[in-house]
Amino acid sequence: MRVFKFGGASIKDAEGIKNVYDVLQKVGYDDVLLVVSAMGKTTNALETVIKDYFEKSSALKASVQEVKKYHNQILLDLFDSECPAVFEDVNKKFLELDYFLEHNKSTNYNFVYDQVVSYGELISTTILAHFMNYKNIPTTWVDVRNLIKTNTNYRDAEVDWALTQENISKNIQRNQLNITQGFLGSDPNNFTTTLGREGSDYTAAIFAYCLNAQSVTIWKDVPGVMNADPRYFENAQLLNQISYREAIELAFYGATVIHPKTLQPLQKKEIPLYVKSFINPLLKGTSVSKGNTLEPYLPCYIVKRDQLLISLSSIDFSFIMEEHISEIFSLFHQFKLKVNLIQNSAISFSVCVEDKFDNFKEVNAILSKKFKVDYTEKVTLYTIRHFNDTAAQMVEEGKKVLLKQLSKETMQIIISEN
């Protein structure tokens, strides 16, 4: 079996849905599992719904209606009156969402988040499965929440691999086209969980591992994995071949083409990963597989914006020792601050973090009791794998460098954007 993942950009409108059909016609769809994200910017739109819900905003009804209107237009562009079932099935999903928003009693933001945003994937896959059947490709719609089981760590759930393996092995039918949702799972009480933002790639890897798949292909709007993000760097070049190890390094430092958790399960069973273009599906794209190769061998640039640079120093000029660092990291873990760079001296400790849950204010209040805390918001972290002097100069030129760190293969530079 082959596992294909299609992200939101590939199915953002009716033409995108039709293009998925065209891709499958060209590359084949027998014994294929499609893992599919929410359409376009639906997740962002549903995050607005959640915001309005918690703020008890009068805009809640309108924000829900925007999501409905967007999907209904796609339905009208794809189907005629001879296919009423798809309209009924999508409407059922929206009725479920309305019911949750009206009757939910939980005040846990992360729990509510997972229950609401999940409808993006549930609706997109419903539409895509109906369209494939409409175009005479027999397709089975699979609710991933019945298969991928997790703990209750909402918004960043951990997979119960043993139970997930059993469920997938029993319930995925071979020699046909299956369509399921990326990003989602369910906890022991069958409430919806999510695997972290951009977790659809990880979902594809989970299925590939449990099915001993032939390969995983991530279909993107780029030719494959580039050595830099074309939005920030001119003349970005395609990497034809990357080893698992190198891809994991790139993902660790924040390369957005491949989700950080995607590669480990694939590496364990040596399942190759392809990153290919849904615009030109017959191009080779990038292959990620066993070996020590990076072809061509180039500096690789990774950019992480909206970072927070924190500098801690001891109030009494004593050394910052292991027990202090352990306490600091325990606090970061508790408040879900993701650490991307560390640098320390005898009496100071600097760390670049990502505060996606907006918890730094609480962390700062606790740290300030024991340390002098200085911080700079909205800095940019550049990471250069396989750096050289030319690469470093290109990143630093004309910018205010706040911190620089070098290892044998990697250079990291923090730049002030103010």
- Annotated binding residues for ATP, written as ranges, equal 231
Give the whole-angstrom CA distance, residue 388 versus residue 399.
18
Q: What angle do helix axes 14-27 and 60-78 make, rounded to 10 degrees?
A: 50
Give the whole-angstrom CA distance, residue 417 versus residue 346.
28
The set of residues, in sequence order, having a beta carbon less than 8 Å from that of 38 and lying 6+ positions away, is: 8, 46, 117, 120, 121, 123, 124, 183
Contact 14, 78 (CB under 8 A): yes
Residue type at position 24: L
Tell me the pairing of strands 273-277 and 400-406: unpaired
Estimate to the nearest angstrom the gap between the alpha carbon of 269 and the chain centroid. 22
Give the whole-angstrom CA distance, residue 304 versus residue 337.
14
Residue 31: burial class (beta carbons within 10 Å; 0-12, 13-18, 19+): middle
CA 172-126-257 angle, to 5 degrees, is: 75
Binding-site residue ranges: 231
The encoded tokens of residue 76 equal 């009208």
- Between the two ends of the chain, the Cα-to-Cα distance in Å is 50
SS3 state of residue 84 = helix
